[in-house]
Amino acid sequence: MNHLTDTQLQGLADGTLRGPEGLAAREHCDSCGECGAELSLYSALAGKLSALRDPDPPADFTATVLAAVQVREAQLATRRHTLLAALPACALALVAIVGWGLSAQVDKLIDSFTALRTVVGVAGPVFAAMRLPLGVGAFFFLALVLTALSRTLRPVHARAAES
């Protein structure tokens, strides 16, 4: 019989080589000094390998994972807040468009009433006077929306500063 291959010797050493083949290999090792020496080497190696343990995870493993999760949650929260912040911005844009259209209507009204001024002399100045309150109202609404916007965004900035 030929000498055993490395695969056969390893199989004998770790116990995966069984049956008649394993028996024959074992018998060869008993009678052949060369293969017997190799087998004892592989057996010693197999014993050392099975004695190895998986390395312990780093001590701060849990903390690191939790920190990563928190960063991810903060990013999701930022995205949610951005969406929320977009709502007042959309409302602002809508009001601006409506206000602009309304302002144009008032201009037209003033024009037509200016034409009627000869008949109703008071109406023109009244509508002209309405333009100032309208502008002031639009300004206050803008300030209100901007305040709401900054309040919506503030928690995100605070959280970003913490981490």
> Where do contacts with Zn ion occur on this chain (CB under 5 A)?
3, 32, 34-35
CB 64 → Zn ion: shortest distance, Å? Answer: 52
Q: Which is nearer to Zn ion, 8 or 113 (CB)?
A: 8
d(CA 39, CA 29): 7
Considering the complex, state which of residue 28 and residue 110 has its C-beta at the smaller distance from Zn ion: 28
Read off the tokens for 60.
Answer: 């701060």
CB of residue 4 to Zn ion, shortest distance in Å: 6
CA atoms within 13 Å, Cβ hemisphere of 136: 5
Which CB contacts under 8 angstroms, 24+ apart, belong to 26-32? 28/1, 28/3, 28/4, 29/4, 32/3, 32/4
CB of 20 to Zn ion, least distance (A): 18
Q: Select 3 or 72, whichever has its Cβ closest to Zn ion.
A: 3
| Least Cβ distance, residue 54 to Zn ion (angstroms) | 36
Please, which residue, 29 or 156, has the CB nearer to Zn ion? 29
What are the distances in angstroms from CA 71 to CA 27, 35, 66, 158?
Answer: 63, 59, 9, 13
